[in-house]
Chains A and B, each alone.
Chain A
Amino acid sequence: MKSSQGSIKRVIHGIRGFKESTVILIIILLCTGISISAPIFLSLDNLKTTAIGLACDGIIGIGMTLSLISGGFDLSVGSVMGLSAVLTALFAGMGINIWLAAFLAVAISLIIGLINGILIGKVGLNPFITTLGMMSIARGGVFVLTQGTSLSINNADQSFRFLGSGNLFGIPVIAIIFIVLAILGDFMVRKSSPAMKVFYVGSNEKAAILSGINTGKVKLYVYLFTALMASLAGILSLSRFGVATANMGSGSEMRVISAAVIGGAALAGGEGSVFGTVLGVLLLSIINNALVLFNVSVHWQNLIAGTILILAVTIDLLSHKRKNK
């Protein structure tokens, strides 16, 4: 396929890649359209709210991108996020310093990631069933620990709350943390050699094995990383709300996978970028925001979200066909 449109376009293609440029275009079109019909979209309050709202899904997305690239995905992220928040609140309630409590919660979440990684990477179980089962187990753990009520961190050191609810130069800290993690994550996925291995494993596992890559170990690290991101999202959420609710994070796995696919990750593996996933999260958030701003009946929200997912997956398929030419 020849690009005969001139050097600028070639450069843009090279840097951004086909799929991400479409998403950026959609986002720009949407933002322009929404700002014209509902100028309050650009108000500081609204933008801040939207940014805070998408930060946790975005952080989970960093991890999910890697698991998608590896040819699998992780359905347990929402439950791990909730469990992480609940464990932190639980330990803090027992008198443990909240920062230490958060550290312990992350460690326990990493164990869940480890189990996922071993079952999927070493034992060879299907990622869908494994992470689905883990999703139930972790959520079940949340219900047992909370008995259905929410756990508050009133008695803990309130400086912890700065992460999730504070502002730095007027920008919400939680958004800053997300952006920093996203930049680091994107860089890692694009440039680092461990990440390269994940791409090989995802595109063609058999070839990867033959070329000497320990695919089991690669997948292990992938699911550890995904659990780590989900755990961080949970802790930030706890910091934001000051309370760990039993259904925190539920539904986020589907949103995040949709966002990643919109951003260019392939469900079959071997493709994807953190930047693309972030764009996907941004797009879904903006659409939700638009629905609220335009007073669209809540009953339409699911229909619209589902339609967008199908459109996104169609775009994904089309660009796949292009790559295979």
Chain B
Amino acid sequence: MSKKIVSIVLAIVLVVSLSLVSCSTPGKSDQTAAQTTANSSDQKAGSAFTGNESQEFYMVTFVSGYPFWKDCYNGFKEAGALYGVKTVYGGTTEYDVNAAITALDQIIAKKPAGIAVTAMDAKAYAPSINKAIEQGIPVITFDSDSPMSKRISFIGTQNYSAGVTAARYIGEKLGGKGKVAALTTLAQSNIKERTDGFQETIKSEFPGIELVQVADAGTDQVAAATSAANLLKSNPDIQYLFCALVTASVGAQQALTEAGKKGKVKIVAFDTDTVTLDAIKSGDVDASISQAPWAMGYWAMNYLYFIKNGLVNPVDNWQGKGYPAIPVTADSGSTVVTKDNADNFYTPEN
């Protein structure tokens, strides 16, 4: 009997700890102190921008630990704070479409004020997004779009052109002649677009440059390092390595150091997290293509607030009538970050 009691005690511990976690984690919803100042100064501007704090806006991603989303959410959170509404960061830590969509559906069931979501797979997300729209919940996609869904707008990097930018940067640096390779990851449409942009530009605009291999960096930097090391062994004479995502460039830097090739093979990375920026300044990474994660989150929240609170009003029932009032897609842009401008890209939360 005592064993059964122990098990029941463990069960109660489980339930209690779950409720403690839900009470004590600060991630519940974010309303910063900026809200109070925003409220008082906006009183002159009118009540349109003094938000109802019962409104909850969600940002939903997958692989939730990935640093890029943190920047996106920072922008989202700051915009939410302008209006004094609640913002929540939700989603799943997994890289599985079922887990991601289940999380999205459960958030939709909570009837939030608005959702900004990044679609791991464009088609698979469409039914859930459409369900939210039909229930009157505004949905904006960011970073990774679901164009066949009824989402109101998409804000994100034109990934294909980002790949083109990287290819042109490398092409110019090499004077149109040399050998390069690329590290990518599979099963993510936005990364694939970058790689496609890179590959096709090298082929069409720089025929003198040979793209020797496009390798899979896997899902974490350890796998990326192994992949990069193998790439270097079979192609020791490459001059540039294009890394289509952050984990790839972190792994590649490590592999280069271990192979003693630091400085001999140059890396063009993606995104501007602190590690990459530091590496640009120290010379370990030649350049990086920055996206605009903060901007994606910030403007997505702004769109959502405006739509939710009826501030967009060209004609009555503009959404039902299909009257164009919001840009359907917005390119949040990409820039080449080098030693010259790297300092500009550090953010306080990085």
Residue numbers of A with Cβ under 8 A of B are: 1, 18, 22, 25-26, 29-30, 33, 37, 40, 43, 45-46, 49-50, 52-53, 56, 143, 146, 148-150, 152, 165, 237, 241-243, 245-252, 287-302, 304, 307-308, 311, 314-315, 318-319, 321-322
Inter-chain contact A321/B3, CB cutoff 8 Å: yes
* Binary A-proximity of B68-101 (CB < 8 A = 1, otherwise 0): 0000000000000000000011111111111101
Nearest-CB residue, chain B, relative to A142: B187
Whether A318 lies near B3 (C-beta < 8 A) is yes
Contact B25 A296 (CB under 8 A): yes
Q: For this complex, into which size category does the number of interface residues on chain B fall?
A: 35 or more
| Residues on B with beta carbons closer than 8 Å to the beta carbon of A252 | 96, 98
Of the stretches B16-24, B151-159, B334-342, the one at the interface is B16-24
**Contact residues in B for A251 (Cβ distance below 8 Å):** 94-96, 99
Provide the residues of chain B in CB contact with A249, threshold 8 Å.
Answer: 96, 98
The docked-state distance in angstroms from the alpha carbon of A304 to that of B111 is: 25
Q: Is the CB of A300 within 8 A of B27?
A: yes
Contact: A294 with B28, CB < 8 Å?
yes
Closest residue of B by beta carbon distance from A55: B98
A298 to B92, CA, bound (A): 6
Contact B186 A298 (CB under 8 A): no
- Residue numbers in B under 8 Å from A300 (CB-CB): 21, 25, 27
Would you call B14 an interface residue if the criterion is a C-beta within 8 Å of the partner chain's C-beta atoms?
yes
> In the assembly, what is the distance between CA of A293 and CA of B18, in Å?
12
Instruction: State whether A52 and B96 are in contact (beta carbons under 8 Å apart), knowing that A33-B19, A290-B22, A295-B88 are contacts in the complex.
Output: no
Do residues A246 and B106 form an inter-chain contact, with CB atoms below 8 A?
no
Q: For the complex, is B315 an interface residue (Cβ under 8 Å from A)?
A: no
**B residues within 8 A CB of A296?**
21-22, 25, 27-28
User: Once the chains bind, are A29 and B7 in contact (CB under 8 Å)?
Assistant: no
Choose among A49, A288, A315 the residue that contacts B109 (Cβ–Cβ < 8 A): A49
* Distance in angstroms between the alpha carbons of A146 and B186 in the assembled complex: 10
Could you write out 15 A-B pairs with CB less than 8 Å apart? A30-B15, A46-B109, A53-B98, A148-B187, A241-B123, A248-B98, A249-B96, A251-B94, A294-B22, A300-B27, A308-B14, A314-B10, A315-B11, A319-B7, A322-B3
The answer to whether A245 touches B121 (Cβ under 8 A) is: yes
Report how far A248 CA is from B89 CA in the complex, Å: 24
User: Residues of A contacting B27 with CB < 8 Å?
Assistant: 295-300
Chain B interface helix/strand/loop/mixed: helix
- Do A29 and B98 contact each other (CB < 8 Å), given the known contacts A165-B127, A295-B28? no
Distance in angstroms between the alpha carbons of A40 and B106 in the assembled complex: 10
Chain B residue nearest in CB terms to A18: B4
User: B229 in the interface, Cβ–Cβ < 8 Å?
Assistant: no
Which residues of the other chain, A, contact B94 by a CB distance below 8 angstroms?
A: 250-251
The answer, yes or no, to whether B179 is at the interface (CB within 8 Å) is: no
Q: Provided the pairs A22-B7, A292-B107 are in contact, do residues A298 and B64 lie with their beta carbons within 8 angstroms?
A: yes
Residues of B within 8 A of A287 (CB): 18
| Minimal beta-carbon separation of A166 from chain B (angstroms) | 12
List, in ascending order, chain A residues with CB within 8 A of B101's CB: 53, 241
B108 at the interface (CB under 8 A from A): yes
Q: Hey, what's the 0/1 contact readout for B17-41 against A, CB within 8 Å counting as 1? A: 1110110011111000000000000
Q: Are A311 and B14 in contact (CB under 8 A)?
A: yes
**Cβ B19 vs Cβ A37 within 8 A:** yes
Residue from B18, B96, B192, B216 with most neighbouring chain A CB atoms (10 Å) = B18
Q: Please tell me which one of the listed residues A53, A143, A318 contacts residue B105 in the complex, with CB atoms under 8 A apart.
A: A53
Q: Known: A18-B4, A245-B97, A315-B7. Is A292-B192 also a contact (CB below 8 A)?
A: no
CB-CB under 8 A from A288, the residues of chain B are 102-103
Give A298's nearest chain B residue, CB to CB: B64
For the A-B complex with A29-B12, A150-B189, A298-B65 known, give 12 more contacts whose Cβ atoms are closer than 8 Å: A22-B8, A29-B11, A40-B111, A53-B101, A243-B121, A247-B186, A252-B96, A295-B28, A295-B29, A296-B21, A304-B21, A315-B10
Bound together, the chains give a CA A314 to CA B8 distance in angstroms of 12
Q: Which residues of chain B are near A314, meaning CB under 8 Å?
A: 10
Which 4 interchain pairs have the tightest Cβ spacing? A297-B27, A53-B102, A294-B22, A246-B187
Set of chain B residues within 8 Å of A237, measured between Cβ atoms: 98
B110 at the interface (CB under 8 A from A): yes
Contact present for B90 and A292 (CB under 8 Å):
yes
Set A26, A242, A299: member contacting B11, Cβ < 8 A: A26
Query: At the interface, yes or no: B6 with Cβ under 8 Å from chain A?
Result: yes
Task: Indicate if B124 sits at the interface (CB-CB under 8 A).
Answer: yes
> In the complex, what residue of chain A is closest to B22 when comparing beta carbons?
A294
A32 CB to closest chain B CB (Å) equals: 9
A45, closest chain B residue (CB): B109
A291 to B25, CA, bound (A): 11
Distance, CA A294 to CA B189, complexed state (A) = 31
A264-B10 Cα distance, complex, nearest whole Å: 15
Chain A residues closer than 8 Å to B121, beta-carbon distance: 150, 241, 243, 245
- CB-CB nearest in chain B for A161: B127
**Complex-state Cα separation, A293 to B88, whole angstroms:** 11
Given A247-B97, A289-B106, A301-B92, are A242 and B28 neighbors across the interface (CB < 8 Å)?
no
Minimum distance in angstroms from A212 CB to a CB of chain B: 36
